[in-house]
Amino acid sequence: MADSAPVRLVAPVPDDEDAAVTMAQGRSRPAWAEIDLAAVAHNAGVLARVAAPAELCAVVKAHGYGHGGPAVARAALAGGAARLAVALVDEGVELRRHDVTAPVLLLSECGPEAVDTALAYGLTPTLYSTEGIVAFAAAARAAGQRATVHVKVDTGMHRVGAAPEDLAALAAAVGREPLLHLEGLWTHLPVADGELPEDQAYTEGQLDLFDRLVAALAGAGIHPPVLHAANTAGAIAFPRARLDMVRCGIGLYGYAPNAGLGRALREQAGGETLQPAMSLKARVVAVRELQAGERPSYGRLRPLPERSVVATVPIGYADGVPRTLFGAGYEVLIGGKRRPLAGMVTMDQIVVDCGPDLSVRPGDEVVLLGTQGSETITADDWAAMLGTISYEVVCGVGPRMPRVLVNRPNDARA
């Protein structure tokens, strides 16, 4: 059998092994995530003022919680953040390649294969193992470059971090390396957003332990100048946790960890509120009139209660609109009105029951997250329907959804 003819490529595939592989975005269809950078800057300002004199570290991991890492980073710095934090070395590299020069903290110890890259791009590693310290010290010596590092201690999250009994030895090991500078010591609070007395007591116990560990290090002559423990919840609920720096993630994107903390933040901020930064929008691409009793979409799960205009919208579960929303009674906004789904969410499309409203036309704007007229749908609304949290909702907006940046602050440069 003859070999198949080779595929002719329209454009050459780069053979640079460092070239990033990016997923196609749906720019040719009318569906997009709108990112309000002024809202990010505003939120950073609110959080920075509440946390002061502690510095604000804006957490921009996971592609800026789905909003776009570099753009969010610049907006947060313009709004008052002094530092940034990411989960992965690649996320830090992306910031640097977009000319973001602010300090970038890696929130987890990276593997040995990424140490040279982290050092080359001036990222601040978190260390909590002897192996990590040895790897960074060796890379710093090879590069002839001093590295600023933070050490994380596990006070109760039990995910990553040095055991409290090992902290002194690890901090001393960093101190013995002439090219490693111990700038920071930190921990993480897993139930700072907890509303039960036992959650609050657990967080207070973590902070007490952290204080004891800091005092023990000081007794050994070790004084990291940047101490940090608070996430968004900790910064609001536990003022003592603000220390020298707070690491705020979800608050930066316009959401409090829960309603009670939202009210507390508003009081602490003199009435200012957080502003959601992401809207999810699309346009109607087709309409059809269907008789009462017709059952659109897969599974034919819902009969139309009356003769209705059904609008097709080009966005689906591959874009971050979960199928579960259909059973939860989710509604979108068209023409400033709430409209229920007419059938199950599919991979690329949804169908919307517009009732007898003959005014709905192709090209009409559809809001899945955000505001239209006097109506608003938030990530908290989705989370309540899905039994999850707003973090998962915004992070779940798929990579093929174009991010359209609006209201860029004039000084959003890093």
Beta bridge partners of 298: none
Whether 408 and 348 have beta carbons less than 8 Å apart is answered as: no
Distance between CA 347 and CA 344 in Å, rounded? 10
Q: Tokens 């990016």 map to which residue? A: 22
Give every CB contact of residue 405 below 8 A, 6+ residues apart in sequence. Answer: 35, 37, 68, 71
Whether 197 and 215 have beta carbons less than 8 Å apart is answered as: no
* Residue 51 burial (CB count, 10 A): 24
> How many residues in the chain?
414
Beta bridge partners of 315: none
C-alpha to C-alpha distances, 400 to 22, 119, 254, 377, 404, nearest whole angstrom:
10, 31, 23, 22, 12
Whether 230 and 192 have beta carbons less than 8 Å apart is answered as: yes
List residues with catalytic annotation: 61, 298
Whether 92 and 104 have beta carbons less than 8 Å apart is answered as: yes
Q: Which of 280, 278, 348, 340 is nearest to 313 (CA)?
A: 348
